[in-house]
Structure formats: C-alpha cells, structure tokens
C-alpha cells in the first residue's frame, strides 16, 4: 500500500572497477570488465560514499549482483551497520520495481540502492525524461516517492571527505563513526 507522504531513496553508482591491462576510467570500466573488482580508486570512492551514508541516515542498502555493485554496497552497509540485500532485478527489466520495494521495505531512514552507472542513467531518464545525468563511478542521486510517483531531487553528487551532503528533511543523521 502506497502512502501520500514523501519517501526518500539514495541511488548510487558503484565505485570504479579494475580493468586488466588497460587504464581504468570512471564509466568505461563497467563496460570493459563487468565482473572486475573495485580498483584502489573504486575502494576510496566506496569509502567516501560510506561516510556520506552515515550522514544521510541510510537504514538499508540494496545492490545489484555484480561484483563492483556488491563491493561498494558492502562497504556502505558495514559503515552504517545496516543490512545489505542483493536484488538481481537491477540488471534486468524491472529496476523501478526495486526502488519502490526498497522504499516500502524501509520503515525508518532511507534506503541506498547501489548499481551500475548505465542503470542509474536509465532510471533517471525513466523518472524524468530528457534529464541528463553523468552517473560517474562513486556518485549518487537523491530521489523521492510522492503519491506513487518518483521525482529526482539531485544528481551526480560526489561525496568528499570530510564534508558530507545535507540530511534530507525528516531524516535523522546517523551517529558519527569512523570508516576504515
């Protein structure tokens, strides 16, 4: 059952992945090595995302089944001490259903959904046709669900340490913890 109140969701791109024998670029690595692990830059991006997650009040992390998606989400979930669930529908034909299910399954705070950049671009285009989004490795978007309709609040946020993005209205920021 949907409610008329606004619900928030954070949609993040996985960190940069290693590409054997080729230089890794932010968005190219996903296409060249679909199951490659995060490289050192990707791990740092995941750690910065995790630091931002603490300030955003994330209560649950959902990711695609790909290795980079899982690694990025796992770092964020550990930092926030929240559950991490894998949902293979992110790579299929029903990624919008994953977003709705993530919001409906989260009773406090907001869910974080971690997936590939191409999926993020597709989701933003489906929600707001014509809106361009870079969706670079380690970036995130803020979405809301109001009266059964998704809206894009901000896109292409890149968390930087030590600063963190503002906490959305109605959310309680997590306690400050160190991320290792």
What is the average pLDDT across 47-66?
88
> Beta strand 140-146 with 7-13: parallel, antiparallel or unpaired?
antiparallel
- What percentage of the chain has pLDDT greater than the value 70? 76
Residues in the chain: 180
Q: pLDDT digits over 69-104, tens only?
A: 999 999 999 988 999 999 999 988 888 999 989 988
Predicted confidence band at 51 (pLDDT cuts at 50, 70, 90)?
Answer: confident
State the pTM of this model. Answer: 0.80
Give 119's pLDDT tier (boundaries 50, 70, 90): very high
What pLDDT digit, counting tens, does each position of 136-175 carry?
999 999 999 888 899 999 998 886 643 444 555 555 444 3
Note the pLDDT of residue 106: 85
User: Alpha helices, DSSP H only, in 17-66?
Assistant: 28-32, 40-56
- Quote the pLDDT of residue 34: 64
Residues 97 and 95: their CA atoms lie apart, in Å, by 5
Contact indicator for 11, 99 with CB cutoff of 8 Å = yes
pLDDT of residue 114: 96
Residue 2 backbone zone (phi > 0: left; psi -120 to 50: alpha; other: beta): beta
Reading the block at residue 149, the tokens are 């309709």
């Amino acid at each position: 059952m949907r409610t008329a109140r606004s619900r928030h969701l954070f949609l993040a791109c996985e960190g940069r992945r290693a590409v054997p024998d080729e230089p890794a670029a932010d968005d190219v690595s996903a296409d060249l090595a679909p199951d490659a692990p995060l490289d050192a830059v990707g791990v740092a991006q995941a750690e910065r995302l995790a630091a931002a997650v603490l300030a955003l009040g994330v209560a649950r992390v959902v990711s695609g089944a790909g290795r980079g998606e899982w690694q990025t989400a796992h770092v964020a979930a550990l930092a926030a001490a929240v559950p991490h669930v894998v949902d293979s529908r992110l790579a299929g034909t029903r990624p919008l259903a994953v977003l709705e299910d993530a919001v409906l399954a989260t009773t406090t705070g907001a869910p974080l959904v971690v997936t590939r950049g191409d999926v993020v671009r597709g989701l933003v285009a489906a929600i707001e046709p014509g809106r361009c989004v870079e969706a670079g490795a380690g970036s995130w978007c803020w979405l809301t669900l109001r009266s059964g309709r998704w809206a894009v609040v901000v896109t292409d946020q890149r968390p930087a340490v030590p600063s963190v993005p503002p906490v959305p209205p109605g959310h309680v920021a997590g306690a400050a913890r160190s991320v290792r």
